[in-house]
Structure 1
Amino acid sequence: MYQPDKLKERRKALKLTQKDIAEKLGISYQAYSAWERGVKEPSTEKVSHYFTEELAHDFASWVSGDSMEPKYHNGSVALIRETGFDYDGAVYAVVCNSQTYIKRVYREAEGLRLVYINPKYKDIFISYDEDPRVVGIIVGNFMPLED
């Protein structure tokens, strides 16, 4: 199902104007504007130009909440490459107590410190006694065009 609001969200996430997108796609500004207004529907071929890079990933996870904004938005999908812990400060998916966290991770003597990008949240500390598992590094993310 086509959702014009998702198309508009993606354009804004890319920090582009309607005119910018129209030029990149080789269509008129009016045609693109009609897509965002829901008057006309774009072809799959045209929409695929929004995603021009293939990212090697093993699985994906929905992002829930605003704790990692502005980089990872609520309702977006994070792409995860299965790895161990490589270095402090990278964004990883961490599982602990049946909860998955997507946060900047720092290894400390007694556990993992999970750091939010959004400054309104405080860090989380997970002791090694709680058996946290670094699932993998986040290699990309996107806002889906359809639910």
Structure 2
Amino acid sequence: MFSPEALKKRRTELNISQAEMARQLDITRQSYFTWESGKTKPNGQNIERLADILGVSTSYFESEYKIVETYLRLNTVNREKVEDYAEELLTVQEESNVIQLYSIKVIDDIELSAGFGESVYDESEFVEVFSDIDYSYDIATWIRGDSMEPVYVSGEVALIREGSFDYDGAVYAVVWNERAYIKKVYLEEDGYRLVSINPDYPDMFASAEDNPRIVGKIIGHFMPVVRG
């Protein structure tokens, strides 16, 4: 890979200005500047011309040049030390790049419907899934259906913070007529209006006579990284 740092370093060592380099290369100063700034890189022919002007080999401009040059000057024993150390550094780097996963227990037999609703059971089974974000929540359950797309996608986990109705337009988990829903909720005089994000789905009205219950507000949602 072409190294703009190596180009600038060598030019500076020889006390050659960018304008003089551009003149010898028969290009504009701006074009030359883009090479040193890393915005563009010279083609093979121009790399050969740079090497000729600066008195170096074409490999000098490769970003790995300094490492390779130093390595080749080492004796066998020291080369082995370098190789061992490089392996240690690589191992540490790979370990530091491991993504930490956080366990989330999802209610597996109650699905918040993003469609027509699912039955609600008093006793629940849980399944363990994992996220790369450490969420703070009270209840986690599945989203099924497409009425809340494109924001809430079927197969995602919905995270609920338990509580009562807060304000119009927030997304809540609602239990109504023994079915559980995830909807935008609006308080009406005699009940709740449940609104889908997907315009293909009509609004629903949960009458106060049916005792609809706000389980809590949806405070997050994600597609599991791994399912246990």
TM-score class, shorter-chain normalisation, is 0.5 to 0.7
Q: Of 44, 53, 62, which residue of structure 1 is paired with 2:142?
A: 62
> Conserved in 2, the CA contact under 8 Å of 1:55 and 1:139?
no
Counterpart-to-counterpart distance in 1, 2:100 and 2:155 = 19
Is 2:194 aligned against 1:141? Answer: no
Is 2:99 aligned against 1:46? Answer: yes
Q: Of 143, 157, 172, which residue of structure 2 is paired with 1:77?
A: 157
Q: Is the radius of gyration larger for structure 1 or structure 2?
A: 2
Counterpart-to-counterpart distance in 2, 1:146 and 1:55 = 15
> Conserved in 1, the CA contact under 8 Å of 2:132 and 2:225?
no
Counterpart-to-counterpart distance in 2, 1:118 and 1:73 = 11
TM-score by length of 2: 0.43
Counterpart-to-counterpart distance in 2, 1:56 and 1:71 = 20
Equivalent in the alignment of 1:118: 198
Equivalent in the alignment of 2:178: 98
Tell me the SS of whatever aligns to 2:144: coil
Higher relative contact order (CA 8 A, sep 6+): 1
Deviations 1:36-93 (A, max 9, x none): xxxxxxx9933649734x3321011100100101111001100000011110000000
> Conserved in 2, the CA contact under 8 Å of 1:61 and 1:77?
yes
> Conserved in 1, the CA contact under 8 Å of 2:174 and 2:180?
yes
Is 2:218 aligned against 1:128? Answer: no
Runs of at least 4 residues off by over 2 Å: 43-52
Q: CA deviation at 1:95?
A: 0.4
Percent identical across equivalent pairs?
53
Number of aligned residue pairs: 105
Cα 1:71–1:47, aligned 2, differ >3 Å: closer, same or farther? Answer: farther
Tell me the SS of whatever aligns to 2:184: strand
